[in-house]
Amino acid sequence: MNIFSLDRTLRLRIAVAFVNRFLDAMITTFMAVYLAQRWGAAGAGMLLFAVVTLGAGGMFVGGHLSDTRGRRPTLLLAEAVAAASFALMALGHAGTGGTLLVYLGYLIGKLASSVGLPANDAMIVDITTPENRTDVYTINYWATNLALAGGSLLGGFLYNGHFTLLLAVAAAATGAVLLSTALWIPESRPEEAARASGDSPLRVFVSGYYAVARDGVFLRFVCAATLGLTIEFQLANYIGVRLSADFPSQALLHIGSLSPHVDGVQMLGLLRSENTILVVLLALFSGTLFKRMPDPLRLYTGIVLFTAGYMVLAVSNRGWVLVIAGAVFTIGELMNVPVKQALLANMIPSTARPKYMAVYNLSIRVAQMLASLCITLAAWTGPWGMFVLYGAVGLTIVLLYRSVLSARSSPEALVN
């Protein structure tokens, strides 16, 4: 699919998501370092835990506001607060208020982005169709990875000595996003959702999320997505720790008389770079590469390849084996992620899309906690225990998605 053939509103939302992810990678990647330098590692951990916790609550509020007040007003509110928060951080780092003001701005900004996330996700679903969603999510997936790579790279170069400039640029860019939303983004909330929101705010809030909690098919989908993210986050958790401790320094290439060696930390960086580069290079062509493959088969095959790649990363200490495994799990990721996102969009009711998206996005937080616990678990099981665990989790993911697809195809399945 050509991005220029998409609806203008959809193109703008993908562009806005790109800018937001770019800024998030540019700033958030280095906030743990910033806070640890000033309040120590333990203090930084507690401060970041507060950010994550408040952000989770913000997604529930954002889902409610998007359903009852509309997508556009929620996005305008979130983007206005985010722009102000970056400006507040810039003032704090420049000397007006100090580190506490920087953290306060960061806390408010992450809360605002959490409030806006369900509205943005729901708007993309609102303005796509079941026929083009896989292609649209492929483009969005490509743009997200490009933004994360570019933002992290720029932030890494400018963090030391130019952090105030980074924050000022983030404030200006978020202000431009706010202006584009105000001028060119129309409301996309379906009329039936607007009619469904005529009760008291508290009643709508409670009853809406109660309905989500009773949707067993959706909850199975969320469990599958959470387990998939738990495997994905292993690279930054157990696998990263294992490579830094156990990977022997070795040469991957022999160039004449030169044989540059890499250690475990460098190998981890190489794997992350490989993943990003392959996604950026191949994502836009994945629709053509896998177009003859039915979506269920593409989903299952992708999960198997994705899991197999991580199983190898859990045990191998041979550089080129790890590089090949990195390519395998990336191809699996390219195969399954757009199909999974399209399936999510197709299965949620139009009257409660933001609430469903808010609950779905909690999978990221839960997966982060589970992935961190795997570091402790690995101390008991060892690498081969993690190898078996990854395989069992991958099999569980396939079975859960199979159950979801089976329920979706049954006569009693919810049809949007």
pLDDT at site 416: 38
Q: Does domain 3-189 have CATH number 1.20.1250.20?
A: yes
Helix (H, G, I), strand (E, B) or coil at 233: helix
DSSP state, 352?
G
Residue-wise DSSP of 273-333: HHHHHHHHHHGGGHHHHTTTS-HHHHHHHHHHHHHHHHHHHHH---HHHHHHHHHHHHHHH
Average pLDDT by consecutive 10-residue portion of the chain (416 residues)? 74 89 84 82 79 88 90 96 95 83 94 93 89 86 87 81 90 95 90 60 79 92 96 88 87 65 82 87 81 91 97 94 95 93 90 89 86 87 95 97 86 41
- Answer for the pair 333, 299: CB distance below 8 angstroms, yes or no: no
Q: CA-CA distances (angstroms) from residue 8 to 14, 132, 184?
A: 10, 15, 9
Cα–Cα nearest to 116, from 57, 194, 58, 53: 58
Q: CA-CA distances (angstroms) from residue 356 to 64, 132, 191, 316, 350?
A: 10, 21, 18, 39, 10
pLDDT at site 105: 95
Q: What is the mean pLDDT of the chain?
A: 87
Q: Determine the Cα–Cα distance for residues 382 and 380; give it in Å rounded to an integer.
A: 6
Domains 3-189 and 216-408 share a fold: yes
Q: Determine the Cα–Cα distance for residues 77 and 242; give it in Å rounded to an integer.
A: 43
- Answer for the pair 310, 271: CB distance below 8 angstroms, yes or no: no
* Helix or strand (DSSP H, E) at 260: none
Query: In angstroms, how far apart are the furthest CA atoms of the chain?
Result: 76
- Residue 258: φ, ψ to 5°: -95, 135
Superfamily classification of domain 216-408: MFS general substrate transporter like domains (1.20.1250.20)
Cα–Cα nearest to 79, from 190, 172, 205: 172
Q: Determine the Cα–Cα distance for residues 140 and 154; give it in Å rounded to an integer.
A: 21
Q: Which two tokens stand for residue 177?
A: 């996003």
Calculate Rg over the CA atoms of the chain: 22
pLDDT at site 4: 67
- Residue 255: φ, ψ to 5°: -110, 100
- Answer for the pair 283, 145: CB distance below 8 angstroms, yes or no: yes
Strands 250-251 and 261-262: antiparallel
pLDDT at site 311: 97
Domain ranges of the chain: 3-189, 216-408
Q: Which phi-psi region, left, alpha or beta, contains residue 256 (left: φ > 0; alpha: ψ -120 to 50)?
A: left
Identify residue 177 by its one-letter amino acid code: V
Residue-wise DSSP of 87-156: HHHHHHHHTSSHHHHHHHHHHHHHHHHHHHHHHHHHHHHHT--TTTHHHHHHHHHHHHHHHHHHHHHHHH
Q: CA-CA distances (angstroms) from residue 197 to 68, 70, 328, 352?
A: 5, 10, 46, 10
For residues 267-286, one letter each, b for 16 or more C-beta atoms within 10 angstroms of the residue's C-beta and e for the rest, the string is bbebbbebbbebbbeebbeb
Burial class (CB in 10 A: 0-12, 13-18, 19+), 150: middle
- Answer for the pair 6, 137: CB distance below 8 angstroms, yes or no: no
DSSP state, 256?
T
Give me the residues paired with residue 262 across strands: 250
